[in-house]
Amino acid sequence: MLSKDKECEPSETEEPILSVMSGLVSTEDVISNTDSYKPTIFYGHYSDCMDMYAPSRTVAEYLNSHSEWFTRCAEPMKVQPLGSNGYALVIGRFGAFNYEVEPKIGLELLPPDQGVYRIRTIPIPDYNPPGYDVDYRASLQLVERSAEDVSADGITGITGVEWELDLAVHIHFPKFIQRLPHSLIQTTGDRLLNQIVRQVSRRLTRKVQDDFHRSIGVSFPKKRGFC
């Protein structure tokens, strides 16, 4: 469920995202030295589409009831509800150059506006991100297609969930990281950001597809559906 400027293909890895990097010093050990440095910005634009084997109305009803499935489908990420449409997520622990962060972000799943669903970052009460800031802006729309090829399986429609994501991460690196060549920091950070998005989106897609089709009593095809 991912492409980055049409370059990145979804990863098939099943490795937990929590094991991307290990043996690194903690953020708390170095964050006190970052105040005087400007943040390094890592940015990615991603887009993809997943198939849901049902009419768009049924898919919309499922998406609108995210309080019933979001926490379950986001596992193993830790999720805490924030109000009626928000969630605080702990993404995992990631790092490089003996520096690591454990991103925790607040996301709000907005009600559809003219058929477009949007997700944006929101503050987490009583939480101050230690040395980083995340700007997450996603949009989803439903595109209904013909189900002639799969009607024999009792499927009455196919809806593509098309999504785009603009993601910017600002990180205040400590002094010992700032001494490294900027091009090395930028390349490594961009690659790690793409890896995180690739793994998270792939797993979330699989879980949402399984959960949705199970909720409507439809057997999801063995071949994963991507638009």
Q: Over the stretch 128-140, which tens digit does the pLDDT of each residue have? A: 888 888 999 999 9
Residue 104, pLDDT > 70, answer: yes
Q: Tokens 């439903």 — which residue?
A: 142
Handedness of CA 118, 166, 134, 98 (dihedral sign): positive
CA atoms within 13 A on the CB side of 80: 9
Write down the pLDDT at residue 35. Answer: 46
Q: Categorize the per-residue pLDDT at 4 as very low, low, confident or very high, splitting at 50, 70 and 90.
A: very low
| Interatomic CA distance for residues 180 and 192, integer angstroms | 17
Average pLDDT of the residues of the chain: 79
Per cent of the chain over pLDDT 90 is 43
| Interatomic CA distance for residues 41 and 171, integer angstroms | 7
Handedness of CA 121, 87, 198, 95 (dihedral sign): positive
Nearest to 62 by CA among 165, 159, 203, 198: 159
Write down the pLDDT at residue 92. Answer: 66
Structure tokens at 105: 């972000």
DSSP bridge pairs for 186: none
Per cent of the chain over pLDDT 70 is 72
CA atoms within 13 A on the CB side of 176: 10
| Interatomic CA distance for residues 60 and 112, integer angstroms | 9
Structure tokens at 177: 């990281």
Highest mean pLDDT among 28-37, 68-77, 194-203: 68-77
| Interatomic CA distance for residues 193 and 165, integer angstroms | 13
Q: May I ask the CATH class of domain 38-215?
A: alpha beta
In the predicted model, what is the mean pLDDT of residues 95-117?
83
Least confident of 1-15, 38-52, 69-83: 1-15
Reported as a single tens digit per residue, the pLDDT across 5-44 is 444 443 333 333 323 322 233 334 334 444 456 888 999 9
Residue 108, pLDDT > 80, answer: yes
Reported as a single tens digit per residue, the pLDDT across 139-166 is 999 998 876 655 545 667 889 999 999 9
Which of residues 94 and 193 earns the better pLDDT score?
193
Structure tokens at 206: 């699989």
Least confident of 11-20, 171-180, 183-192: 11-20
Q: Categorize the per-residue pLDDT at 226 as very low, low, confident or very high, splitting at 50, 70 and 90.
A: low
User: Which residue type occupies 26?
Assistant: S
Which of residues 30 and 118 earns the better pLDDT score?
118
